[in-house]
Structure 1
Amino acid sequence: MMSLRKQEKLIAQVIRATNPVNQTAPWYSAAIACLVMTAAPLTAFSQDGQEEEQRSRSRQPIEEVTVTAQKIEESIQDVPIAVSALSGDNMDELKIERGEELLRAVPNVNFSKSNFSSYNFAIRGVGTKAVSAASDPAVAVSFNNAPLIRNRLFEQEFFDVQRVEVLRGPQGTLYGRNATAGVVNMLPVMPEDEFASEVKAEIGSYNSKRTSGMFNLPLGETMGFRLSGALTKRDGFDYNIHTGNDVNDRDLYSTRAIFEWEPSESFNANLIWQHFEEDDKRSRTGKQLCTKDPGLSKIGDTELTGFTPVFLSQGCLPGSVYSDDAYDVPNAKGFAHVLVTGLIPTNYGPVIDWYIDPYENASQSRDLRKIETSYDPVFRAENDLVQLNFEWALTDSLTFFSQSTYAKDDYFSSQDYNRYVSDPIFNDGGDLSPTPDGIYTDPQLGPSDGILAVDVSRSDNKQWSQEFRLQTSFDGPWNFSVGANYLDFKTQDDYFVFNNIFSLVSEYLFNQVQDEDGNWITQNCITPEENVGGDCIYVDPNSLENIDEEGHNYFLSRNLVETRSWALFGEAYWQINDDVKLTTGLRYTDDRKRSTPVSSQLLLGTLYNEETGEVESGNFTGGFAHRGYPEGDQVTLDWQEYTGRAVLDWRRETPFTDETMFYVSFAHGYKGGGTNPPRADIDPTKVQYQPLEETFEPEFVNAIEFGTKNILLDGSLTLNANAFYYDYTDYQVSQIVDRISLNENFDAESMGLELELAWQLTDATRVDMNMGYLKTRIADGEESIDVMNRTQGNEDWVLVRPSFKVPSNCIAPVDLVETVLSTENIFAIWSLCSGSAEYGSFSPEIETDLRWDTIYGLDPYNPLTDAPNGGRGFSADLSGNELPNAPHFTVNLGVQHTIPIEDWDLTLRTDYYRQSESYARVYNTEYDRLKAWSNLNASVSLSNSNSNLYMQLYVKNLFDDSPITDMFTNSDDSGLTTNVFTLEPRIVGFSISKGF
Structure 2
Amino acid sequence: MKKRVLAAAMTSVAGFGLGVSSAALAQIEPQAPAAEPAAATDSAAADEIPTVVVTANRRAENLEKVSASITALDATRLAEQGIVSQSDLQAAVPGLTVRQTQGSNSLTLSIRGQTIDAFTGSKTAVVPYFNEVQLNTGGASTFYDLESVQVLKGPQGTLFGRNATGGAVLYTAAKPKDEVGGYLKMRGGSYNLTEAQGAVNLPLSGNTLLMRIAGDVIHQDGFQENIHDGRDLGEVARQSGRISLLWRPSEALENSTLISADHVGGNSTATRLKTVNRVNHTTFACVNPNVVNCASDLLFSPSVDTVYAYPTMWAQYTAAHPELNANGIADYLDNDSPRIGFWKANEAAPVTHNEQDYFFANTTSYQLGEDLLLKNIVGASLANTHDLGSSVGAPYPVFYSANLDDQEFGNHVRNLSYSEELQLQGKALNKALTYILGAYYQKEDSKTLFPQVYFDFSPVVPGTSVDNHFQIKDETPAAFAQGTYDFSAIGLKGLSFTAGFRYTWESVDISQLSRSVYAGAPDQSTRYSNPSWNLGLSYQVMDDLLLYVQGRRSWRAGGFNGTAPPSLDTGSGILEDVNIFKPEFVHDVEVGAKFAGSLFGRPLRANLALYNQWIKNVQRAEFPDPPGPVTSIAYTVNVPEAQVTGAELDFAFKPVNWIETGFAGALTRARFTKGKDTADVFGVTYTFGPYADVPRASGSLYGTVFLPTPSDWGPMNVRADLYAQTGMYFSNNNNTITPDTRIPGYGLVNLRYDWSEIRGSKYSFAAYVRNLADKEYYTGGFALTASLGVNSVAVGTPRMFGAEIRYEF
TM bucket (normalised to shorter chain) is 0.7 to 0.9
- In the aligned structure 1, how far is the partner of 2:528 from the partner of 2:404? 47
Displacement of 1:504 in angstroms is 7.3
Where does residue 726 of structure 1 map in the other structure?
A: 613
Q: Distance between the aligned counterparts of 2:418 and 2:566, measured in 1?
A: 34
Residue in 1 aligned with 2:552?
Answer: 667
Runs of 5+ unmatched residues, structure 2: 20-40, 320-325, 398-402, 626-630
Are residue 235 (structure 1) and residue 221 (structure 2) matched?
yes
Q: Between Structure 1 and Structure 2, which shows a larger proportion of strand residues?
A: 2
What's the counterpart of residue 743 of structure 1? 636
SS of match in other structure, 1:126: coil
Shift of residue 264, structure 1, vs aligned partner: 1.1
Higher helix share: 1
Aligned to 2:64: 77
In structure 2, what is the equivalent of residue 114 of structure 1? 101
Distance 1:37 1:139 in 2: 28
Q: Which amino acid aligns with 1:592?
A: S
The aligned residue for residue 704 of structure 2 is 896
Q: C-alpha separation between the residues in 1 aligned to 2:648 and 2:172?
A: 25
Describe the shift of the 1:715–1:77 C-alpha distance in structure 2 as closer, same or farther (beyond 3 A).
farther
CA distance in 2, matches of 1:669, 1:650: 24
What is the identity, as a one-letter code, of the residue corresponding to 1:947? S
Aligned to 1:332: 299
What code does the residue aligned with 1:674 have? G
1:375-774 equivalences under 5 Å are 375-415=349-389, 417-421=391-395, 456-474=410-428, 475-498=430-453, 501=456, 554-577=465-488, 578-597=493-512, 630-653=519-542, 659-677=544-562, 679=564, 693-713=578-598, 716-738=603-625, 739=631, 740-746=633-639, 747-774=641-668
Q: Which of 1 and 2 has greater Rg?
A: 1
Q: 1:162 aligns with which of 147, 171, 177?
A: 147
Classify the secondary structure of the residue corresponding to 2:740: helix
How far has the Cα of 1:473 moved from its partner?
3.6
Query: CA offset at residue 711 of structure 1?
Result: 1.3
Report the Cα offset of residue 106 of structure 1.
1.2
**Counterpart residue type for residue 539 of structure 2:** W
Q: Could you give the per-residue CA deviations for residues 403-422 of structure 1, whole angstroms, max 9, x where no partner exists?
A: 10000011111146554335
**Structure 2 SS opposite 1:721:** strand
Secondary structure of 2:634's match?
Answer: strand
After superposition, the Cα gap between the structure-2 partners of 1:745 and 1:684, relative to the gap in structure 1 and judged at 3 Å, is closer
Structure 1 Cα separation of the partners of residues 801 and 261 of structure 2 = 28
SS in 2 for 1:282: coil
- Please say if residues 340 and 505 of structure 1, whose CA atoms lie closer than 8 Å, have aligned partners that are also in contact: no
- Which of 241, 244, 247 in structure 1 is aligned with 2:230? 244
Structure 1 residues 684 and 889: alpha-carbon distance in aligned structure 2, compared to 1, 3 A threshold: closer
Matching residue's letter, 1:387? A
2:521 is aligned with what amino acid? G
Question: What number of residue pairs does the alignment pair up?
Answer: 748
Note if contact 1:132-1:676 (Cα within 8 Å) is conserved in structure 2.
no
Q: CA deviation at 1:443?
A: 6.8
Whether the 8 Å contact between 2:17 and 2:722 is mirrored in structure 1 is no
User: Given the superposition, is the C-alpha separation of residues 8 and 386 from structure 1 closer, same or farther in structure 2, using an over 3 Å criterion?
Assistant: closer
Query: In 1, distance between residues paired with 2:602 and 2:432?
Result: 28
Instruction: Report whether the alignment pairs 1:986 with 2:799.
Output: yes
The Cα offsets for residues 676-696 of structure 1, whole Å up to 9 and x where unpaired, read as 3354699989xx999994321
What is the rounded CA distance, in whole Å, between the counterparts of 1:418 and 1:104 in structure 2?
A: 28
1:911 — aligned with what? Answer: 721
C-alpha deviation, 1:119, in angstroms: 2.5
Say whether residues 1:182 and 2:69 are aligned partners: no
Distance 2:57 2:612 in 1: 22
- Tell me, in whole angstroms, the C-alpha distance in 2 between the residues paired with 1:35 and 1:419: 35
Alpha-carbon offset, residue 708 of structure 1: 1.0
1:710 partner amino acid? F
The answer to whether structure 1 residue 923 and structure 2 residue 733 are counterparts is yes
Q: Give yes or no for the alignment of 1:173 onto 2:158.
A: yes
Task: Deviation per CA, 1:716-754: give whole Å up to 9, x if none.
Answer: 211111111111111111111132423222211111111
Aligned-pair CA distance for 1:568? 0.3
TM-score (norm 2): 0.84
1:128 maps to which residue? 116
Alpha-carbon offset, residue 9 of structure 1: 14
Structure 2 CA distance, aligned partners of 1:73 and 1:481?
13
Amino acid at match of 1:642: P
CA deviation digits over 1:386-414, x for unaligned, max 9?
Answer: 11110011112111100100000111111
The letter of the residue matching 2:16 is L
1:884 pairs with one of 692, 697, 702: 692
Alignment partner of 2:440: what SS? strand
Contact 1:310 1:333 in 2 (8 A): no
| Equivalent position of 1:104 in the other structure | 91
Q: Secondary structure at the match of 1:77?
A: helix
Match of 1:270 in 2: 256
Residues in 2 aligned to 1:415 and 1:107: alpha-carbon distance in whole angstroms: 29
Q: 1:164 to 1:335 in 2, by over 3 A?
A: farther
Q: Is the 8 A contact 2:618 2:642 kept in 1?
A: yes
Identify which of structures 1 and 2 has the higher relative contact order when contacts are C-alpha pairs closer than 8 Å and 6+ apart.
Answer: 2
Aligned-pair RMSD on alpha carbons? Answer: 4.0
User: Contact 1:292–1:331 at 8 Å: present in 2 too?
Assistant: no
Work out whether residues 109 and 115 of structure 2, in 8 Å CA contact, stay in contact via their aligned partners in 1: yes
Question: What is the CA–CA distance in structure 2 between the aligned matches of 1:197 and 1:646, rounded to whole Å?
Answer: 43
C-alpha deviation, 1:960, in angstroms:
1.4
- AA matched with 2:669: K
Q: 1:950 aligns with which of 747, 764, 771?
A: 764
- The amino acid that maps onto 2:697 is F
- CA-CA distance at 1:36 after TM superposition: 10
Structure 1: how far apart are the matches of 2:642 and 2:311? 51
Q: Work out the CA distance in 2 between the residues paired with 1:37 and 1:379.
A: 35
- Note the alpha carbon deviations across 1:334-373, whole angstroms, 9 max, x for none: 7999767655999xx99999xx976588532453321123
- Among 177, 182, 200, the alignment partner of 1:197 is 182
Q: 1:691 to 1:100 in 2, by over 3 A?
A: farther
Task: Identify which range, 260-269 or 777-786, moves more after superposition.
Answer: 777-786
Q: 2:245 aligns with which of 222, 246, 259?
A: 259
Determine what percentage of the aligned residue pairs are the same residue: 21
Q: Say whether the 8 Å CA contact 2:245–2:256 is kept in structure 1.
A: yes
Q: Return the letter of the residue paired with 2:661.
A: V
Cα distance in 2 for partners of 1:315, 1:951 equals 60
Cα deviation for residue 501 of structure 1 reads 4.1
Rounded Cα–Cα distance in structure 1 between residues aligned with 2:187 and 2:45? 35
Does the C-alpha gap of structure 1 residues 732 and 7 become closer, same or farther in structure 2, counting only changes over 3 Å? farther
Separation in 2 of the partners of 1:479 and 1:724? 26
Q: Give the whole-Å Cα distance in 2 for the aligned partners of 1:924 and 1:661.
A: 41
2-side partners of 1:500 and 1:875: how far apart? 25
Distance 1:775 1:37 in 2: 25
Task: State the distance in 1 between where 2:390 and 2:593 align.
Answer: 51
What letter corresponds to residue 639 of structure 1 in structure 2?
Y
Distance 1:680 1:268 in 2: 50
What whole-Å deviation, never above 9, does each CA across 1:565-623 have from its counterpart, x for those lacking one? 0000011121111311111100000000111246997xxxxxxxxxxxxxxxxxxxxxx
Residue 44 of structure 1 corresponds to none
Distance in 1, matches of 2:743 and 2:305, equals 33
User: What letter matches 2:92 in structure 1?
Assistant: A
Give, as a single letter, the amino acid of the residue that structure 2 aligns with 1:391: S
Q: 1:926-972 CA deviation, whole Å, 9 max, x = no partner?
A: 61322111111001111117422111110011111231222112265
